[in-house]
Amino acid sequence: MMNDSARLDGKVVAVTGAGRGIGRDVALLCARQGASVVVNDLGTSAHGEGADTGPAAAVAAMIRDQGGKAVANGASVAEPAGAASIIADAIAHFGRIDGVVNNAGILRDRIFHKMSIVDWQRVMDVHLNGAFYVAKAAAPHFKDQGSGSYVHFTSTSGLVGNVGQANYAAAKMGIFALSNAIALDMRRFGVRSNCIAPFAWSRLVATIPAIEVDDEGATARMQTMTTDKIAPMVAALLSDGARDVNGQTFGGTRFSCSTSRARSERCSGRRAGQPAASCATCCPRWRAT
């Protein structure tokens, strides 16, 4: 049975990019664990084109149909006013904000010499600027109440690099640095900030062209790494069970994770879907549940 400190009862969580993929599964799990959820999604294509309020509305409706509390927000995180409206909706509908999940993203992959200024700017605007805008909007509320949790999504493309993703890699490495800086600045107010560098088969991953095909079964294996396997880690980091976890970056596969600040460690998880158990092994500040 889940320890009460690992649940999200009474908390209010805003999840960006929550209409599909990882964000959708995060929003649904947070609601099942008792949180009220602001489901944000502009509803663009994987490349950031168009807009559709349908995905966010559908996820919010699903949460309500299951007995939870949720409101849809269709604003763009790439605009300061849009990002601020996400936090404003949390306050207006649920009276507070306890957690922010910066998940929204797009891809505009190009080999570097062919990458346009527009390709660069749009990816930066959504990933890095968007993470800053949403985090900044929540910061005064977190400070005043003496608590709050940020969970940002970085990527091994930023930490290691990837072909054709200079814009995405730079933005994701920026998010890693932003999270660490927030952790240092806001810890005095009881606020924590952590990153996840996940891998899951999603709508965005499916758009990346294969550079080499060494194994005919590689894609099939990747497709088993579904987005719902990431959500438990996010929910755990938002919970009071992770109250002493700050300035960390978690990443890995279904069965292992690594944490890094100044150094990196690895541990083997007890089994998939139980991140709190595995992270207690490699991170002594984690309150195991």
Catalytic residue selected from 168, 176, 250, 286: 168
**Any catalytic annotation for residue 168?**
yes
Strands 256-260 and 264-268: antiparallel
CA 76 to chain centre: 16
Per the CB < 8 A criterion, the answer to whether 264 and 159 are in contact is no
Distance CA 193, CA 191 (A): 7
What 3 state SS string does the chain have?
Answer: CCCHHHCCCCCEEEECCCCCHHHHHHHHHHHHCCCEEEEECCCCCCCCCCCCCHHHHHHHHHHHHCCCEEEEECCCCCCHHHHHHHHHHHHHHHCCCCEEEECCCCCCCCCHHHCCHHHHHHHHHHHHHHHHHHHHHHHHHHHHHCCEEEEEECCHHHHCCCCCCHHHHHHHHHHHHHHHHHHHHHHHHCEEEEEEECCCCCCCHHHCCCCCCCCCCHHHHHHCCCHHHCHHHHHHHHCHHHCCCCCCEEECCCCEEEEECCCEEEEECCCCCCHHHHHHHHCCCCCCC
Residues identified as active-site: 168
